[in-house]
Amino acid sequence: MNIYALSSGRGPSGIAIVRISGKDTLKVCKNLTKLKEINSNEVNYCKFHDPKNDKVIDPEALLLWFPAPNSYTGDDLAEFQVHGSNAVINALLKTLSEQDNFRLAEPGEFTKIAFQNNKIDLLKAESIGDLIHAETELQRDQAVKLVQGNASNYYNDLREKLIKSLSYIEAKIDFAEDDLPEKVLIEVQNSIKEIHKDIQKIIEDNKIGEKIRDGFRVSITGEVNAGKSSLLNLLAKRDVAIVSDEEGTTRDVIETYLNIDGYPVILADTAGIRDAKNEVEKKGISLALGKSKEADLNIIVIDNSSKKINNEIQKMINKDTIVLLNKSDISDKQNHEFNVDTVLASVKSNKNIDKLINLIKAKLSKKFSSNNSALITRERHRVKLNDCLKEIDKFLKKDQNKDLELAAEDLRMATRHLGSIVGKVDVEEILGSIFKDFCIGK
Ligand SMILES: Nc1nc2c(ncn2[C@@H]2O[C@H](COP(=O)(O)OP(=O)(O)OP(=O)(O)O)[C@@H](O)[C@H]2O)c(=O)[nH]1
Ligand SMILES: [Mg+2]
């Protein structure tokens, strides 16, 4: 089966790119363009026709033809660059759908085929998705590093070390009577302990990679009527939440996704904290407290003219919070002091909100300071690394002089978990490593 899809965004646009992949690619290219010769890995100037009625679909187009295996998918692949109107795109896609053995690609299918053809590993496939969806500079930066193979190389190195240790143990099992020095087992143990340490270090990363990919959680909490929803709307540059001078307007958690100077942020507006009588409001307050607990950063909004600050709110203020003393347009004399970062501002007249944004950025970058080489970007990676660590722990607890076969099984499982991050699970490699290192040809 061959597949086709519009690879650029929906039109109208100057140019649209339609991709096809599969063994009938060249035949269909010739059918649609009437070109006798199509040069590979070059731009071919052409017309696209509907072979059914000979009507021209686009009189001035380009065709790129990449024969297998040197293509993105690893199969025969072509890219058509046509004028990006909906009419041209629709006519071309319809014509493709009428070709024998051609069907519309599923989402991500070109990349899936590339993975199946061993053109890319699983991490790269994931990171191509991340690069396509990157909205902020931090996300783009992280995805670029992963696409270039930073994490894959690291995991592959670790895995090779595991395989090497495993191959020593396999040899010890298979050739027990041969004189493999005793110290081999000690070396294996030390090497495995090092790997354990390395993985532990990767896991203790404050989840920075996942945060960059999914967004930092920032929660707006505080007094009723202090201007929390107004702040959300101002930062989001649109009316997301209802603003009113009635106390207790917001009850549900309202989330919006923002790009704060490169930082991907999920900003949540919540119900004001007070001693509520109404059941619905009580539920809203409980949701608000929950949100603030799971947030990476809390912005606590207080009306600067408030006489007394609610105890619950006082308790929430700590070094990980920013206090926004709002409504400075009414009086710009600061009425409350806190020994944490505080901004006296006016949401209504957009005063000092730039200071707040800078503080948000500074706090996030301090809390999640990273050398920008996070290795875990998804929960999937974390789960696999933890599974791998569990097996290594089991291995290290065993007396390898007695339980060598069981210990080998632990390492085999550890290798498998680590391999599944990059999408590699292969017993042949272990055998290959044995033969390479031990020359068992005697
Ligand atoms: N003067 C002044 N009024 C403001 C400012 N910010 C918000 N307000 C007003 O304060 C009132 C409450 O604003 P909201 O944004 O709904 O406050 P909230 O904290 O979300 O309120 P609840 O959802 O009820 O907890 C509205 O009438 C706003 O127009 C400000 O900086 N200055
Ligand atoms: Mg509100």
Give the residue-averaged pLDDT of 418-429: 74
In a domain, 122, yes or no: no
Q: Specify the pTM.
A: 0.80
Residues 282 and 410 in one domain: no
The yes-or-no verdict on residue 373 having pLDDT over 80 is: no
Residues 318 and 219 in one domain: yes
In a domain, 367, yes or no: no
Give the residue-averaged pLDDT of 308-324: 93
Give the residue-averaged pLDDT of 145-161: 92
According to the model, what pLDDT value does residue 374 have? 75
State yes or no: cis peptide before 67, omega within 30 of 0: no
Choice among 47-56, 67-76, 252-261, 420-429 with the minimum mean pLDDT: 420-429
In sequence order, the 6+-apart residues with CB closer than 8 A to the CB of 59 are 47
In a domain, 333, yes or no: yes
CA of 248 to the centre of ligand 2 (A): 7
Residue 201: CATH number of its domain: 1.20.120.430
Residues 386 and 358 in one domain: no
Q: Is the CB of 423 under 6 A from ligand 1?
A: no
The yes-or-no verdict on residue 437 having pLDDT over 50 is: no
**Ion ligand 2: residue ranges with CB closer than 5 A:** 228-229, 249-250
Residues 196 and 332 in one domain: no
In a domain, 132, yes or no: no
CA of 175 to the centre of ligand 2 (A): 73
Ligand with an atom nearest the CA of residue 221: 1
Instruction: Among 116, 133, 164, give the residue marking a domain's end.
Output: 116
According to the model, what pLDDT value does residue 28 have? 98
Residues 186 and 62 in one domain: no
Residue 297: CATH number of its domain: 3.40.50.300
Residue nearest atom 8 in ligand 1 by C-alpha distance: 227
Instruction: Among 74, 98, 116, give the residue marking a domain's end.
Output: 116
Residues 289 and 423 in one domain: no
In a domain, 41, yes or no: yes
Give the residue-averaged pLDDT of 22-44: 97
Distance between CA atoms of 298 and 198, rounded to whole angstroms? 32
According to the model, what pLDDT value does residue 9 have? 84
Pocket test for ligand 1, best of 219, 220, 225 (most atoms within 8 A of CB): 225
Provide the mean pLDDT of the chain.
90
Q: Is the CB of 221 under 6 A from ligand 1?
A: no
Choice among 42-56, 87-101, 102-116, 225-239 with the minimum mean pLDDT: 102-116
Give the domain extent around 71.
Answer: 2-116
Residues 313 and 232 in one domain: yes
Pocket test for ligand 1, best of 230, 346, 355 (most atoms within 8 A of CB): 230
Residues 254 and 193 in one domain: no
- pLDDT, tens digit, for every residue of 63-108? 999 999 999 999 999 999 999 999 999 999 999 999 999 999 988 8
Cα torsion for 281, 286, 289, 294, to the nearest 10°?
-130
CA of 212 to the centre of ligand 2 (A): 27
Residues 282 and 342 in one domain: yes
**Burial group, residue 189, by CB count within 10 angstroms (0-12, 13-18, 19+):** middle
The yes-or-no verdict on residue 332 having pLDDT over 60 is: yes
In a domain, 133, yes or no: no
According to the model, what pLDDT value does residue 429 have? 53
CA of 406 to the centre of ligand 1 (A): 65
Instruction: Among 116, 132, 161, give the residue marking a domain's end.
Output: 116
Residues 355 and 235 in one domain: yes
Give the residue-averaged pLDDT of 414-425: 87
Distance between CA atoms of 178 and 171, rounded to whole angstroms? 9
In a domain, 159, yes or no: yes
pLDDT more than 70, % of the chain:
93
Q: Is the CB of 230 under 6 A from ligand 1?
A: yes
Q: Is the CB of 249 under 6 A from ligand 1?
A: yes
Residues 227 and 347 in one domain: yes
The yes-or-no verdict on residue 327 having pLDDT over 60 is: yes
In a domain, 143, yes or no: no
The yes-or-no verdict on residue 415 having pLDDT over 50 is: yes
Residues 235 and 329 in one domain: yes
Confidence of residue 438 (pLDDT cuts 50, 70, 90): very low
Q: Is the CB of 346 under 6 A from ligand 1?
A: yes
The yes-or-no verdict on residue 440 having pLDDT over 80 is: no
Number of domains composing the chain: 3
Q: Is the CB of 250 under 6 A from ligand 1?
A: yes
Residue 87: CATH number of its domain: 3.30.1360.120
